[in-house]
Structure 1
Amino acid sequence: MRTNIHFIVNPIAGKGKNELSEALLEAYFPKTEYSVSIKKTEFVLHATALTKKSIEEGAEIIVACGGDGTINEVASCLVNTSVIFGILPMGSGNGLASNLKISKNIKRALAIIKNQNIIAIDTGTINGEPFFSNTGVGFDAHVISDFEENTTRQLFSYLQSTLRTLKKYHYKNTVELKYNETTELISPFLLFVSNSNEMGYKMSLTPRASLQDGLLDLVIVPELSNFKLFIFTLLFLFKKHHWLEEVRFKQITSLEIKSVDNIILKTQKDGEFFVPKEPKIEITIHPKNLNVCVL
């Protein structure tokens, strides 16, 4: 009985022109042992549709070949199923893949999938929509909104978006936070919730986060003066942002964020801009409900 494995490829992820040849795949997955299918995405959310079709076709392993957006689309269909999730990192950030120590070298990543060393990882949801690396309200969401207007998605473009957002960012919205039996009002610069220890580009706000601890790591940064904002940015670049006394860290299983002014909050999930349908956001952890191929 041959193993049914499907590859969902985003040709324009990262630097673009991503190719996955049948000859290369056959070297790792010979036709005598595997039934291999390659599907290419053509538009936003196409990966979701292709993954659902692959599940219907009996795929036992489905591999996302792209960046965090493609990974989110494919993995969202695989939570709470027996289908094994594989990753070929072809994007710009590759936060989840990096956290799982999956190489950007295609041949090494294919070897990981072939070895089928499987672990179950936690996943999160924001208003019922799955995320795997992180989600956030505030500054990071505004950066992502600016970043998505770029034609190139590289680290330099991300840094440009960060600087542009810093110049124009005025986040005065007050929100009510509920977590760990605590309720507080805050006007946040940043509310960042992470399942993994990396955001992409080797950057991290939550270096101690784990994909298997049944917890989400919450970073709360209140509204800051321009001077403190400059200090925070510098410390973050050197992974020392915890030195700033205003920055707080919490481990949670759920979080409710509600706009006091009834405003729809700009949000990002897994590095993609996300707009909730209501002024209240509910974020929850779901322990070990996704089976992933790892090193």
Structure 2
Amino acid sequence: MRGLLLYNPQSGRNRSSRELTVSQIAALLRGYGYDLTVSATTHRSSADAQVRSAIADGAEVIFACGGDGTVHDVLQGVVGTSAKLAVIPLGSANALCRELSIPPDPLRAAAAYAATHERTTAVGRCVTTDGKRYFLTMAGAGPDGALMYRMLTVDRSHAGRWSYLWHAVRLLLRGRFHHFTVRWKTADGTRGASQAVSAMALRIGNLGGIFPGVARGATLNDKTMRLVLVKSPALLAMPFWFLSAWLRLERWNPLTSKLDVTSFTCDGAEGKTYVQADGEWIGSLPATMDLLPARTVSFLLPASLKARV
């Protein structure tokens, strides 16, 4: 099977050993019969064009070697094609790998691709004034979008969970978060609206990092997204959300609400409100986010995981 192994040279926190690790991963995969080309991303969002070029040249599988941001960028080029998406964890969070039960060690993950199976999953779509992006794990507007916007100026190769927490705390203490209007639609056609300072669509149950528990109950399915709405004021509601989720007490939190939706829109903010998808800043409100059952991506997964996904 012809493929592209695309890795982010800035992903993760062990740059000195990354090239060696990538070479070892490629050697393992080639030993299993994959006809691989190995390339590094050249800048933020370069993966889209690199993936499309590789697929046009006959690549049948794209190995995204990096963190969730790398997977997000690769996804943009894979959606709408017949190419398969495979993931090798080489980032800091690797939330999608955890959801798919792919081994967290990159060499063990590569070794697991000796035998494979496929899984097709619907993708989410987020449309803002800055354009359109597909997503897999999450998308949201409010403080999370502002945090990802701020992280654009941070060297993320050294940004572990404590760095994210530090920047999140500073943002909450210094930022002014205005409420906006969220309108949603559920699978049975029910519509509703509410005011919120944060709206986050979740598609996996464990984001890890500084967000343990906030995505509990969300699943990577083809029908709905778990929408979490947080009321104002953000300085009180956001920490209370994280704490109540960590303590498994979120059902008694009066400042948050959860529902399963197929789509929602966010608009009407008084100030600039940023949007993120898969932990990457993608623009600002207004925004529309929806799940696209007819727009899918095919994962190539280790056969040993078939019983668990």
Per mean C-alpha deviation after superposition, the further-off stretch among 71-80 and 196-205 is 196-205
Distance 2:103 2:287 in 1: 34
Pairwise CA distance, 1:237: 3.5
Distance 1:93 1:115 in 2: 25
Equivalent position of 2:26 in the other structure: 25
2:162 equivalent to 1:162? no
- Give the TM-score normalised by structure 2: 0.85
> What SS does the corresponding residue of 2:26 show, helix, strand or coil?
helix
Which amino acid in 2 is paired with 1:166? L
Distance 2:67 2:235 in 1: 33
Which has more helix, going by share of residues?
Answer: 2
Per mean C-alpha deviation after superposition, the further-off stretch among 15-24 and 95-104 is 15-24
Pairwise CA distance, 1:150: 2.3
Whether the 8 Å contact between 1:205 and 1:239 is mirrored in structure 2 is: no
Q: How does 1:91-240 map to 2 (within 5 A)?
A: 91-127=91-127, 128-151=132-155, 152-180=158-186, 181-186=190-195, 188-201=196-209, 203-224=212-233, 229-240=238-249
Pairwise CA distance, 1:185: 4.1
Whether the 8 Å contact between 1:257 and 1:281 is mirrored in structure 2 is: yes
Pairwise CA distance, 1:176: 4.4
2:257 equivalent to 1:248? yes
Distance 1:221 1:173 in 2: 9
Pairwise CA distance, 1:149: 2.6
Whether the 8 Å contact between 2:182 and 2:199 is mirrored in structure 1 is: no
Structure 2, unmatched stretches of 5+, are none
2:43 equivalent to 1:54? no
Structure 1, unmatched stretches of 5+, are none
2:290 equivalent to 1:292? no
> What SS does the corresponding residue of 1:275 show, helix, strand or coil?
strand
Whether the 8 Å contact between 1:150 and 1:157 is mirrored in structure 2 is: no
Q: 1:163 to 1:120 in 2, by over 3 A?
A: same
Q: How does 1:81-100 map to 2 (within 5 A)?
A: 81-100=81-100
Q: 1:203 to 1:230 in 2, by over 3 A?
A: closer
Pairwise CA distance, 1:228: 5.1
Per mean C-alpha deviation after superposition, the further-off stretch among 17-26 and 143-152 is 17-26
Distance 2:234 2:36 in 1: 55
Residue correspondences, number: 288
Distance 1:270 1:225 in 2: 21
Which amino acid in 1 is paired with 2:152? E
